[in-house]
Structure 1
Amino acid sequence: MNIVTTHVNTDFDGFASMLACTKLYPKTKMVLAGKVKKNVKEYISLHKDVLDFKAPSEIDPKQVEKLIIVDTLSSKRIGTLSALLREESIEVIVFDHHPLSGEKVPQGKVEEVGATVTLLIEEIQQNNVELTPFEATTFLLGIYEDTGNLTFAQTTPRDVKAAAFLLENGAKLSLVSQYISKPLTENQKTLLETLMDNMENYDFNGWNVVVCTASLDEFIGGVGELTHKLGKIEDVDAVFTLVKMIDRIHVIGRSFNENLPISQPIVEMGGGGHPQSAAATIKDKDLAAIKHEFISLLNKLPSPLTAKDVMTNHVKTIGPDISINEASRVMLRYGHTGLPVVENDKLLGIISRTDVDKAIHHKLTHAPVKGFMSTNVVTISPDSSLKTVRQKLTHYDIGRLLVVDESDKMIGIITRTDVLKVIHGKQAPRWHKPLYTFNDYSMAQESENLMEVINTRLPKKLQGLLWLIGQKAQKEGYKAYAVGGFVRDLLLGVPNLDIDIVVEQDAISFAHKIVKYLGGEIKEYEKFGTATITLKDGRKIDFATARMEFYPFPAAMPEVEETTIKHDLYRRDFTINTLAFRLNSDRFGEFLDFFEGRKDLEQGNIKVLYNLSFVEDPTRIFRALRFESRYSFQMDEGTMSFLHNALENNVLQKLSGTRIMEQLQAIVSEPNPSVIFTRALELGIIDNIFGQCTKPQQLKKDLRKTVDSVQILQEKSIIEQKDVLLVYLLVLINSYPKKAFEIVLNDFNLEKGSRLIISNFFNGGLDRIERLKSSKHLDPSEIYDALNSLSIHCLCAMMALADSDLLKNRIFLYLEELQKVDVETTGNDLKKMGIEPGPIYSKIISRLRQQKLNGQIHTKDDELNYIKGLDLIERGR
Structure 2
Amino acid sequence: MKQCPKKLIAFPHNADLDHLGAARCLLLKEPDACILHPVRFRQNAWETARKLDWFKTVKLDSIDFTALNTVYLVGITHLRQNQELVEAVAKASLRVIVLADRPAALPFAAENDICDSMSLTACMVNRLRENQLHFSGEDMQMFRLAVTEKTWAGLSGRVKPEDHKAIAFLDRQTMPAGKIANTVVLGMHDGQTSLYRNMLKNIEDIQPGYWPVTLIAVRAGNLVQDIEPVVDAIWSDISPPVLLLILTFGSFTRVWCRSSISQIDFREIFADFRPSRVRNWVYFHFSGAGHEQNRGRVLQHLEKNLHPDLTAGDIMSASPQCIESNASVRSAFDTMLKFNIMSLIVMQNGEFAGIVTRRDLDRALQMNLLDSEIGPYVPTSVPIVSPGTPVRVLKNLMVRYNLTRLPVLQNNSVVGIITTHELLRALPDYLPLPHDFLPLAEQASLPAPAELEKLLKLVFSLRIFHLLLRIGRFAEQRGVNAFAVGGFVRDLLLERQNFDIDIVVIGDAMPFVVELSHEFACEYKVFDRFHTARIYLEDLKIDFSSARIEHYSDPGALPQIEFSGLSNDLYRRDFTINALALALNPEHFLELKDFFGGYNDLVNRRIRILHSFSFLEDPTRLFRAIRFAGRFNFALEQDTQRAFELAISREAPEKLSLKRIGSEISRCLNEDRPQQIVADLFSAGLMKYLSPEMVDADILPGRFKLIKSLIRRFKPLGEEIDGEAIFWTGILSVIRSGNAEQILDDLGTSHSRRRLILQALSAMKAVPAVVNKTDESDTVCLYHLLHELSLETMLSLMAFSLDKRNARKILYFIMNLRAVKCSITGQDLIDSGIKPGPHMRQIFKHIIEQKLKGSRYAREEELELALQLYQNL
Q: TM-score range by the shorter chain?
A: 0.5 to 0.7
Among 348, 355, 369, which residue is 1:350 paired with? 355
Q: What secondary structure sits across from 2:428 in the alignment?
A: helix
Does 2:579 align with 1:584?
Answer: no
Question: Equivalent residue for 1:204?
Answer: 206
Structure 1 unmatched runs, 5+: 1-150, 159-163, 193-197, 213-223, 241-251, 281-292, 435-439, 871-877
Does 2:502 align with 1:500?
Answer: yes
- Please say if residues 652 and 689 of structure 1, whose CA atoms lie closer than 8 Å, have aligned partners that are also in contact: no
1:465-480 matches, within 5 Å, as 465-480=467-482
- Please say if residues 794 and 810 of structure 2, whose CA atoms lie closer than 8 Å, have aligned partners that are also in contact: yes
> How many Å apart are 1:727 and its aligned residue?
1.9
Does 2:559 align with 1:554?
Answer: no
- Please say if residues 228 and 239 of structure 1, whose CA atoms lie closer than 8 Å, have aligned partners that are also in contact: no
CA deviation profile, 1:702-741 (whole Å, cap 9, x unmatched): 3213223333444435x6334x323211211234453874
- How many residues were matched structurally? 651
Among 363, 369, 374, which residue is 1:369 paired with? 374
Q: What secondary structure sits across from 2:417 in the alignment?
A: strand
- Distance, in Å, in 2 between the alignment partners of 1:368 and 1:688 is 47
> How many Å apart are 1:805 and its aligned residue?
0.5
Q: Match of 2:721, as an amino acid?
A: Q
Does 2:731 align with 1:732?
Answer: yes
CA deviation profile, 1:653-674 (whole Å, cap 9, x unmatched): 4333443444344334334432
Among 294, 312, 327, which residue is 1:322 paired with? 327
Question: Equivalent residue for 2:79?
Answer: none
Q: Match of 2:483, as an amino acid?
A: Y
C-alpha spacing 1:526/1:549, structure 2 compared with 1 (3 Å): same
1:466-865 matches, within 5 Å, as 466-535=468-537, 537-693=538-694, 696-697=697-698, 699=700, 701-716=702-717, 720-722=720-722, 724-738=723-737, 741=740, 744-750=743-749, 765-766=764-765, 768-769=767-768, 772=771, 792-802=791-801, 804-816=803-815, 855=853
Q: CA RMSD in A?
A: 6.2
Q: What secondary structure sits across from 1:318 in the alignment?
A: strand
- Distance, in Å, in 2 between the alignment partners of 1:226 and 1:757 is 83
Question: Equivalent residue for 1:459?
Answer: 461
> How many Å apart are 1:588 and its aligned residue?
3.7
Q: Match of 2:811, as an amino acid?
A: F
> How many Å apart are 1:422 and its aligned residue?
1.2
> How many Å apart are 1:343 and its aligned residue?
1.9
- Distance, in Å, in 2 between the alignment partners of 1:580 and 1:487 is 6
C-alpha spacing 1:695/1:383, structure 2 compared with 1 (3 Å): closer
C-alpha spacing 1:423/1:184, structure 2 compared with 1 (3 Å): farther
CA deviation profile, 1:147-191 (whole Å, cap 9, x unmatched): xxxx99xx9899xxxxx9xx99999999xx99xx97945787999
Q: Match of 1:683, as an amino acid?
A: A
C-alpha spacing 1:534/1:651, structure 2 compared with 1 (3 Å): same
Q: Match of 1:656, as an amino acid?
A: S
CA deviation profile, 1:91-142 (whole Å, cap 9, x unmatched): xxxxxxxxxxxxxxxxxxxxxxxxxxxxxxxxxxxxxxxxxxxxxxxxxxxx
- Please say if residues 333 and 550 of structure 1, whose CA atoms lie closer than 8 Å, have aligned partners that are also in contact: yes
- Distance, in Å, in 2 between the alignment partners of 1:651 and 1:446 is 41
- Please say if residues 573 and 613 of structure 1, whose CA atoms lie closer than 8 Å, have aligned partners that are also in contact: yes
Q: Match of 1:320, as an amino acid?
A: S
CA deviation profile, 1:334-359 (whole Å, cap 9, x unmatched): 33122232323554443333444566
Q: What secondary structure sits across from 2:427 in the alignment?
A: helix
> How many Å apart are 1:512 and its aligned residue?
3.2
- Distance, in Å, in 2 between the alignment partners of 1:480 and 1:204 is 33
Q: What secondary structure sits across from 1:766 in the alignment?
A: helix
- Please say if residues 682 and 696 of structure 2, whose CA atoms lie closer than 8 Å, have aligned partners that are also in contact: no
- Please say if residues 481 and 583 of structure 1, whose CA atoms lie closer than 8 Å, have aligned partners that are also in contact: yes
Q: What secondary structure sits across from 1:541 in the alignment?
A: strand
> How many Å apart are 1:331 and its aligned residue?
1.9
> TM-score of the superposition, structure 2-length normalised?
0.58
Q: What secondary structure sits across from 2:321 in the alignment?
A: coil
- Distance, in Å, in 2 between the alignment partners of 1:199 and 1:700 is 88
- Distance, in Å, in 2 between the alignment partners of 1:804 and 1:818 is 20
- Please say if residues 449 and 589 of structure 1, whose CA atoms lie closer than 8 Å, have aligned partners that are also in contact: no
> How many Å apart are 1:466 and its aligned residue?
3.7
Q: What secondary structure sits across from 2:690 in the alignment?
A: helix
> How many Å apart are 1:639 and its aligned residue?
3.5
C-alpha spacing 1:640/1:807, structure 2 compared with 1 (3 Å): farther
- Please say if residues 459 and 492 of structure 2, whose CA atoms lie closer than 8 Å, have aligned partners that are also in contact: yes
CA deviation profile, 1:241-284 (whole Å, cap 9, x unmatched): xxxxxxxxxxx99989876889999xx9x99999xx9899xxxx
- Distance, in Å, in 1 between the alignment partners of 2:818 and 2:794 is 12
Q: Match of 1:810, as an amino acid?
A: K
1:125-136 matches, within 5 Å, as none
Q: What secondary structure sits across from 2:317 in the alignment?
A: coil
- Distance, in Å, in 2 between the alignment partners of 1:497 and 1:662 is 21
Q: Match of 1:721, as an amino acid?
A: I
Question: Equivalent residue for 1:412?
Answer: 417
- Please say if residues 579 and 593 of structure 1, whose CA atoms lie closer than 8 Å, have aligned partners that are also in contact: yes
- Please say if residues 504 and 545 of structure 2, whose CA atoms lie closer than 8 Å, have aligned partners that are also in contact: yes
- Please say if residues 843 and 869 of structure 2, whose CA atoms lie closer than 8 Å, have aligned partners that are also in contact: no
The structure having more radius of gyration, on CA atoms, is 2
Q: What secondary structure sits across from 2:553 in the alignment?
A: coil
- Distance, in Å, in 2 between the alignment partners of 1:279 and 1:826 is 86
Q: What secondary structure sits across from 1:368 in the alignment?
A: coil
- Distance, in Å, in 2 between the alignment partners of 1:641 and 1:354 is 30
Q: What secondary structure sits across from 1:572 in the alignment?
A: coil
Structure 2 unmatched runs, 5+: 1-124, 133-153, 183-199, 217-231, 245-255, 284-293
> How many Å apart are 1:800 and its aligned residue?
1.3
- Distance, in Å, in 1 between the alignment partners of 2:577 and 2:593 is 12
- Distance, in Å, in 1 between the alignment partners of 2:570 and 2:678 is 29
C-alpha spacing 1:821/1:316, structure 2 compared with 1 (3 Å): same
Among 314, 331, 337, which residue is 1:332 paired with? 337
Q: Identity over aligned residues, as a percent?
A: 25
Q: Match of 2:720, as an amino acid?
A: E
> TM-score of the superposition, structure 1-length normalised?
0.57
C-alpha spacing 1:509/1:796, structure 2 compared with 1 (3 Å): same
- Please say if residues 317 and 565 of structure 2, whose CA atoms lie closer than 8 Å, have aligned partners that are also in contact: no
> How many Å apart are 1:427 and its aligned residue?
9.5
C-alpha spacing 1:576/1:560, structure 2 compared with 1 (3 Å): same
Question: Equivalent residue for 1:312?
Answer: 317
The farther-off stretch of 749-758 and 667-676 is 749-758
> How many Å apart are 1:492 and its aligned residue?
3.7
Q: Match of 1:796, as an amino acid?
A: L
- Please say if residues 546 and 563 of structure 1, whose CA atoms lie closer than 8 Å, have aligned partners that are also in contact: yes
- Please say if residues 253 and 278 of structure 1, whose CA atoms lie closer than 8 Å, have aligned partners that are also in contact: yes
